[in-house]
Amino acid sequence: MKDDSPFVTTDWLFNNLEQPDIRIVDASWHMPNAARDAAAEFEKAHIPGAVYFDLDRIADTASDLPHMVAAPEDFAAMVGELGISDTDTIVIYDSVGLFSAARVWWNFRIMGANNCFVLEGGLPAWQNKSYPVGSGAISPEPTLFNALPDIQAVVGIKEMQRHCSINEEGRPVQIVDVRPRLRFTGEQAEPRPGLKSGCMPGSINLPFSELVTGGTMQNREAVLSALRCAGINPDEPIISSCGSGVTAPILNLALATLGIDAMRVYDGSWAEWGATAGCPVIGREGQLL
């Protein structure tokens, strides 16, 4: 474990697998068009002792939007069933390297789990070291998770509408959209049907792919460079956004590598904004839709 880092290495985890307070979480999730079953893949191969965190189940399932943050009491009950306490040391990984793990890291952090980390390089890095993997279903012993939610971290559409109605000189927050650049500019259609193409007025684009290389977060210098090149001031307030809230926290995780505790995420992201009547959209060639 590195001082003040939100990451742990595969070597560190391997050497601490038997520690009684370590809880390992497989946070794998794939885009609907990826034709992959993360739960089935978990049963075939996972880090020993890991439990599977289902992003679409540990969520507000009453919402029409995908994987919205669950109510604190529901989150606490569901992760407690996974055998995870808020005082445990929680290590999160995914099967891509660094994709959906950031979302689950953020979800635990905003619910009060402060000893929460992401595994550098995820499952691929673990397997590349030829470390052991388990298989089959897991039946953890339930425990108590005491949720202490950060209610400011989960940003809703009304607040986003207020920010987008303020001119750039008076905007109190930087809205950073981590979707791929062509989706941000409206030149590429959204993968989810029925959504407008484009971006929120005044938002800044920093594709998460510029923060991650080979399934691993870029080093501090590269993260700072990417922020500066995008015109983002890491010392000023930031709200991250993406397609449906899964990859937005990669930016929050990147900021954490710089020692910046910036945890605000627009939970509905483009899945909500691009489908909601009356939400202004900047489309191709700067046209207001």
- Domains of the chain by range and CATH? 7-128 (3.40.250.10), 154-286 (3.40.250.10)
- Per-residue pLDDT tens for 200-237? 999 999 999 999 999 999 999 999 999 999 999 999 99
**At a CB cut-off of 8 Å and minimum separation 6, what does 140 contact?**
51, 81, 82, 83, 84
Mean pLDDT confidence for 49-56: 97
Hey, which residues does 174 pair with through a beta bridge? 238
Model confidence, pTM? 0.96
DSSP 209: G
- Per-residue pLDDT tens for 61-99? 999 999 999 999 999 999 999 999 999 999 999 999 999
At position 180, the amino acid (one-letter code) is P
Note if 242 is an active site residue.
Answer: yes
- Are 119 and 93 in contact by the 8 Å Cβ rule? The answer is yes
Look at residue 285 in the predicted model and tell me its pLDDT. Answer: 75
DSSP 129: T
Q: Residue 214 CB: number of other CB atoms within 10 A? A: 10
| Token pair 């529901």 in the structure block, residue | 74
Strands 204-205 and 89-93: unpaired
User: In whole angstroms, what is the distance from residue 123 CA to residue 38 CA?
Assistant: 12
Q: Which of 116, 164, 199, 242 is catalytic?
A: 242
User: In whole angstroms, what is the distance from residue 205 CA to residue 199 CA?
Assistant: 9
Q: At residue 175, does pLDDT exceed 70?
A: yes
